[in-house]
Chains A and B, each alone.
Chain A
């Protein structure tokens, strides 16, 4: 036998202790304890839902074994069509346990962007944040604090912005491009969402989808696409790329990117030319017969005639200051007056003022926009445009869908939206079963009860948002601290280099997130939020979608040192001396939400929800939601306002075509940067969520710049080459992939990848952030024209 290995013990047993090592470090006590005899049962089931950013909001039945989430299955909805789940939901079994999770609060020690952090305690983190916010509020006012949150955060800070009098970013500039034009006509306020729920598609005969890739982006609603198709609807996809949805559509119209408005304008011309419009509908429900002063271009009102508004008019129709030409009396009359038969067309003189009807002006204006003109702009064969217009106008009812990703993110999106509104109005497809105009995704407009609220004392008020956060980067403003929830630093601003310059001027940048996303890199303090599967409370939140109330129960304890979003808000409020205004628990908060007299919520309480696997159907009609069936609109006149007075100074009272802001051959940049840079969502991500999901990344392992082989060849590129994508704003590096599904002249990057997934840089280093001046007069302000971007690509 060899000499004992004990010989290597140089000195006595307690030697460690004798060299100044204290007892606690030699003990297991801090980490181990005697087993808790009341330990959890080995297996439990909990019900929750997937955070609603994709619109799916699937209800999940989760199996937890020995404290670990081991299985996710679709929960059963009362309306069984929604008992679904997609890969993103299933992948949470891995995603929740990602090694990317933020484990502890961190403070930055290097420069912003260098990624050097040290762990700190929650107490230190919260004290640092609270001290700074208190000081800023005292010295500069609450408006010096900006809260900005990603859409995927189910419970963003709901109370603190109000209690601090801070500004809230609210994702301004996103998903509002078309809405800016569309909703000026309809008076709606739902981001341009369609007022016919997608379940109504089955009643449509024609469905036109402009940049709507529903089969990827809203997979749980794919069934309604096919249901409509099976019922005989013709589905026509207008898309620059051959998308999954295009592949399943009856027809593909391959449009030049950024020219959707030109197509719609030509369709309007064809509808007018061929008398395919619904005369009665226009007369009764729209501003088409309203009179426009030819001198000022404003709508003719009573005030123009120097008259008081007749009493009889105000009583019967308070919104009737607008005038029409009454055929019967051959005189101007309030548009709402009983017995008036408005003339749709014509030129008249009223008290020496020359006027024409909106409809006549539209007809005149449309002379500019012939199908052959549109063919030059859109590169769609003229016959296709003619056929499309005829089909839509004569084979109704028709759906006119505008995607939030495709046509929306362009400088000219408001014109697209306005043209779509007019086209749908002319054909009587608004407030019509089987019709609808706008974004058809997410069941955004549907049966929704009015929830109760958690009331904060009235002395507390949010500050008004001074300007879109994207403008704060270069215009004087009050903001000195940014509290980012999620990944809004990457996602809510185009042109990341400019965003970073702004962040470097701020006194405090905080990111609250479960994962190490791109926003973390630029933050001073990072707080680890748990995922929506975890909580300190029995419940996290609730959502109302597709006619059901969904409860988000706790599935797991928060991992590592993470905390739920609500707990973080509560603890920060405590440090600020404001905790007394917050609900004590999620239970108290959710009870306040459900405490509503709305009959749709009758019988739905936290208790009954628990008894029903966390999901209950609203007491609401079972049929698809269709808005405006009464042809009442929330506009000044109460009608569809085709003529947008607000836009007179921009020559857009009626839609006039304008090319893209940047991504057009006419742009001065086009010589240097000839390629349009487009982004399109896929089934694999929801914005920048799931970029770190390893199960999903088995299918979609890395970012690739896609391009037509023709563009690649002319640049001497080979498939999978490392390329640099660049313009004057910045650059990033990825590998390239060739695809015939893209037009020459277009490159595509699926968005959402974080900087660390790129070989170098970030997708937002190149994206266009320049606001269109006209949009400041629009209801939602400027759209961030992410797709209106030119780049060049070369071998890196």
Chain B
């Protein structure tokens, strides 16, 4: 257990960046570390809740199998899972965008996209390649949490509490409002189990993180 909130914020920033990076592109290059069982054995979070536990357990089991394949084949297998889940061709099996789950017409670039864009702009941020892909991609929403957590790790200011409250609201109103559905789709359609596990872990982390943020506010 760590006592320093500064350390917590830095951990959160890295954790969410890591998860976001793992979801925004197929696992390759520097993210390949996520395909080894050792990584998940030593993952810095314990099983704080059911989804965190399930997600971690699934990732450990999945990567233990992947370890036996050799790195190149493991990357290939996980990419074969990533492509139909999140890229297509055709409607992705687990469309990674909030708008698809949360608008009445399951339409891309729906209101959630612009809410996330707005949230980013409060911190003077925007996504690279703006207007080319929607901001409510799961990975980009996680990136938003990471970016704000980076701000929180800067010397404490009077803004901190409001940043934290905004984070709680963002987790509730955006991520937790659709990640369970995304998780179900990824679990149902994934044939390797890596992304099902990863998104279940994200779900668990979000639940844990919300408690963490509330704890900070109650402090």
Contacts and interface: CB of A to CB of B under 8 A. Distances in A.
A777 interface: no
A203 interface: no
A33 B76 CA distance: 30
A34 B124 contact: yes
A148 B139 CA distance: 38
Contact of A516 (B13, B90, B147): B90
Interface in B1-28: 1-4, 7-8, 10-11, 13-15, 17-18, 20-22, 24, 26
Given A25-B18, A31-B139, A99-B95, A559 B126 contact: no
Given A4-B215, A15-B44, A559-B133, A526 B120 contact: no
Contact of B11 (A13, A30, A66): A13
A567 to B, nearest CB: 14
A40 B87 CA distance: 28
A330 to B, nearest CB: 75
Contacts of B109: 68, 97
B37 interface: no
A109 B80 contact: yes
Interface stretch (A71-79, A115-123, A349-357, A395-403): A115-123
Contacts of A106: 83, 87, 89
B188 interface: no
Interface string A8-47: 1111111111011110111110111111100110000000
A327 interface: no
A558 interface: yes
B1 A6 contact: yes
A694 B95 CA distance: 16
B132 A100 contact: no
B14 A26 contact: yes
Contacts of A118: 26, 76, 79-80, 83
Contacts of B143: 28, 31-32
Contacts of B13: 26, 28
Contact of B130 (A11, A67, A99, A104): A67
B140 A10 contact: no
Interface string A113-132: 00111110000000000000
Given A6-B215, A9-B44, A694 B117 contact: no
Interface residues of B, number: 74
Most interface-central of A5, A15, A34, A556 (chain B CB within 10 A): A5
A118 B84 CA distance: 9
- Greatest chain A CB density within 10 A among B30, B106, B107, B109 is at B109
Contacts of A26: 13-14, 17-18, 21
Given A9-B11, A97-B107, A28 B147 contact: yes
A10 B80 contact: no
Contacts of A24: 21, 30
B1 A4 contact: yes
Nearest to A13: B7
A99 B93 CA distance: 10
A94 B146 CA distance: 31
A116 B215 CA distance: 47
A7 interface: yes
10 contacts: A5-B208, A6-B2, A7-B46, A11-B44, A21-B30, A30-B21, A31-B128, A32-B144, A99-B106, A694-B106
Interface of A: 1, 4-17, 19-22, 24-28, 30-36, 39-40, 66-68, 94, 97-104, 106, 109, 115-119, 516, 520, 526, 556-561, 694, 756
Given A118-B26, A118-B80, 18 more contacts: A1-B218, A5-B211, A8-B45, A8-B47, A9-B8, A14-B14, A15-B11, A22-B30, A28-B20, A31-B24, A34-B125, A40-B131, A68-B114, A68-B131, A117-B89, A516-B90, A559-B133, A560-B133
